[in-house]
Amino acid sequence: MTDSALPTTSREWRLLSRPVGWPKPEDFELAEAEIRQPGPGEVLVRNAYVSVDPYMRGRMSAAKSYVAPFELGKAMQGGAVGEVVASGAEGVAVGDHVLHFGGWREYATFDAKQAVKVDAEAAPLSTYLGVLGMTGLTAYAGLLRTGSFKEGDSVFVSGAAGAVGSQVGQIARLKGASRVIGSAGSDEKVKLLVEEYGFDAAFNYKNGPVAAQLREAAPDGVDVYFDNVGGDHLEAAIGSLNEKGRIVICGMISVYNNTEPAPGPKNLARLIATRGRIEGLLVGDHYDLQPEFVREVGAWVRSGELKYRETVVEGIENNLEAFLGVLRGDNTGKMIVKL
């Protein structure tokens, strides 16, 4: 079944060359592509919202990583949520809303098995890309499973006003943390962390050395550090880590555009004395937590106990600028492009 009023072409972003350092507009193009009608088992989706995320910078490089690089000259990929406008798949009807990875484009045709139905009545569609989507599950799994959070822990989060960080801090608070500390890149974001998200303390990392500001904010040390930044934040967290403290490495946005390897923390030896643990986090390892996550976090969102912000940019033509904005830290909460 299909919508007869559909256009025949769709705009999509393509990677033309692999960026060195900061991505430049000439590394990309916004191209017209023919819309392919779905075959058996496939669906055609009109995207309503698409996601831009820091990890996408890694996919622009050819280096081997946990996810395949974007192919040059082909449409890029990313999280998206939209409406099914044509279906050749059993169990997926025109009018259904689905979450999928055919982002960076207006229309996407793909195997229906790669889509997850979402309820547009239960929550705004955009939330399935953020607070109830991959970034939310990253926060939930990273804190509770990778970080082995337990009631009474003191938690420090870097990039705390971002989509993942803001949720980590609030989940820690709702789960009984003794103290929640966040760092952010502006005084306005620091105020948001304390006044809206309920962090016990927060600081602007641009206002002075991170290690000194963290010691002041967490005089009794840190049990769990959730790292979105790397660099001086990671070194500061190691310096304030309590005995048997845990460090969750989710992202290192401070080094993504470096052209030379960034030096590691100078104080790693402190992990011997603290018996501290550092562990990397990939959300793809934790999809088994999805039902529990949606149930628990969805209830907090509906009750207003867990608050979220979205930075919404209008128009597919602004998708690249929205992505660069994430790397600059322009967003508060989840950065989303509305089509």
Q: Which residue has the tokens 């050749």?
A: 88
- Write down the pTM of the prediction: 0.83
DSSP string, 61-127: S-S--SSPPPPBTSB--B-EEEEEEEE-STT--TT-EEEESB-SBSEEEEEGGG-EEE-TTTS-GGG
pLDDT at site 306: 96
CA–CA separation, 12 and 31 (whole Å)? 5
- What is the C-alpha to C-alpha distance for residues 86 and 109, in angstroms, rounded to an integer? 9
What is the DSSP secondary structure assignment for residue 60, as one 8-state letter? T
d(CA 212, CA 169): 21
> Rounded to an integer, what distance in angstroms lies between the CA atom of residue 256 and that of residue 264?
14
Is residue 226 a contact partner of residue 165, using CB atoms and an 8 Å limit? yes
* 78 closest CA partner among 259, 256, 335: 335
Cα distances from 312 to residues 26, 29, 53, 130, in angstroms, run 24, 21, 13, 12
Contact call for residues 148 and 246 (beta carbons, < 8 A): yes
Q: pLDDT tens per residue, the chain (339 residues)? A: 455 578 999 999 999 999 999 999 999 999 999 999 999 999 999 999 999 998 899 899 988 777 889 999 999 999 999 999 999 999 999 999 999 999 999 999 999 999 989 988 888 899 999 999 989 999 999 999 999 999 999 999 999 998 899 999 999 999 999 999 999 999 999 999 999 999 999 999 999 999 999 999 999 999 999 999 999 999 999 999 999 999 999 988 777 676 677 777 999 999 999 999 999 999 989 999 988 998 999 899 989 999 998 999 999 999 999 999 999 989 888 999 999
| 155 phi and psi angles, rounded to 5 deg | -120, 130
> How many Å apart are CA 310 and CA 22, to the nearest integer?
24
What is the per-residue pLDDT for 279? 97
Compute CA 339 distance to the chain's CA centroid, rounded to the nearest angstrom. 19
Q: What is the token pair recorded at 8? A: 């025949």
Looking at the DSSP assignment, which residues form a beta bridge with residue 10? 33
Residue 97 and residue 58 in contact, taking contact as beta carbons nearer than 8 Å: no
Q: What is the pLDDT of residue 35?
A: 96
